[in-house]
Amino acid sequence: MKKHVARQAAVYLILIAAAIFALYPVVYSFFLSVMKPEEASAFPPSIVPHSFNPANFIDVFGIVPIAAFIGNTFLVSGIVMIGQLITASLAAYAFAKMDFKGKGFIFSLFVASMMVPWEVTMIPNYLTVRSLNWLDTYQGLTVPFLATAFGTFLLRQFFLQLPKELFEAARMDGCGHIRYFLLHVLPLSRPAIGTLAVYSFLNTYNSYLWPLLITNSEMMRTVQIGISMLEFQESTSWNLVFAGITLVILPSLLLLVFGLKQLVRGMSAGALKG
């Protein structure tokens, strides 16, 4: 009995240490965001703040249009999320519930495309966007990401778990593919759809390289690019930089906290059947 309690205590201690190790960068970013300039740039750095200066957040709004950047990023992330949900769910339904020639081969190509790094396709995508005159536009920021092989794969795995008897009963009741998809498959697949929604939103919200590549004007910049505008060549106020970072990561942290249960449920459900 004592060995069991000691083992459990050791496991909890290891988990607490791992949690502190994982969360400390986020917590330290918040500590730096409320420090005064001289304390934030002191060496050796302070582990915990000795001052509390929330005016840093107000100063950030005065230096860069951070609210416009956050709104811009939310708009782009929302469009990409909705686009991926529509295209991935339709493609996943076709692969899971419909029979057509070459289905296995086409799906293999879908899965194989997940192995191609994004950096390999970045230049061809840039040339395509430029030829369409979509540089520095919302179309250029969103259209290349409206379809996702990962989302199709995730939803297909979930759709395969739906019982065939349900589809046969719906067909006997006069239900076609469109009605069955809208009235039965989508409502029953809320965990997987919620997972894809959270994943695609956060992935777009945190993207940096593509918005940096195709946007030029300040009003089209996303928030990840806007943070770099808080750094200056002459000197950098790290308290202001980290105040901006805290403002940026706050929405994604809240979304992750409230969507984590849905994310885990969807991931585990999609992994049950291949």
> What is the DSSP secondary-structure string of the chain?
-HHHHHHHHHHHHHHHHHHHHHHHHHHHHHHHHTS-HHHHT-SSPPSS-SS--THHHHHHHHHS-HHHHHHHHHHHHHHHHHHHHHHHHHHHHHHHH---TTHHHHHHHHHHHTTS-HHHHHHHHHHHHHHTT-TTSHHHHHGGGS--HHHHHHHHHHHTTS-HHHHHHHHHTT--HHHHIIIIIHHHTHHHHHHHHHHHHHHHHT--HHHHHH--SGGG--HHHHGGGG--SS---HHHHHHHHHHHHHHHHHHHHHHHHHHHHHHHHHTS--
Residue 88, classified by CB atoms within 10 Å of its CB into exposed (0-12), middle (13-18) or buried (19+), is buried
Amino acid present at 100: F
pLDDT value, residue 100: 87
pLDDT value, residue 78: 94
Distance from C-alpha of 245 to C-alpha of 239, rounded to nearest angstrom: 10
pLDDT value, residue 111: 85
Q: Where are the domains of the chain?
A: 1-57, 65-271
Q: Kindly report, residue by residue over 7-25, the tens digit of the pLDDT.
A: 888 999 999 999 888 888 8
Q: What kind of fold does domain 65-271 have according to CATH?
A: MetI-like fold (1.10.3720)
Q: Kindly report, residue by residue over 120-167, the tens digit of the pLDDT.
A: 888 999 999 999 999 999 999 999 999 989 999 989 988 988 888 888
Amino acid present at 82: I
pLDDT value, residue 142: 94
CA distances in angstroms from 106 to 67, 98, 100, 128, listed in the order given: 43, 13, 10, 24
pTM attached to this predicted model: 0.81
pLDDT value, residue 267: 62
pLDDT value, residue 131: 94
Residues of the chain with pLDDT under 50: 272-274
pLDDT value, residue 263: 66
269 backbone φψ class: left, alpha, beta (φ>0; ψ -120 to 50): alpha
- Asked whether the bond before 45 is cis by omega within 30 degrees of 0, the reply is no
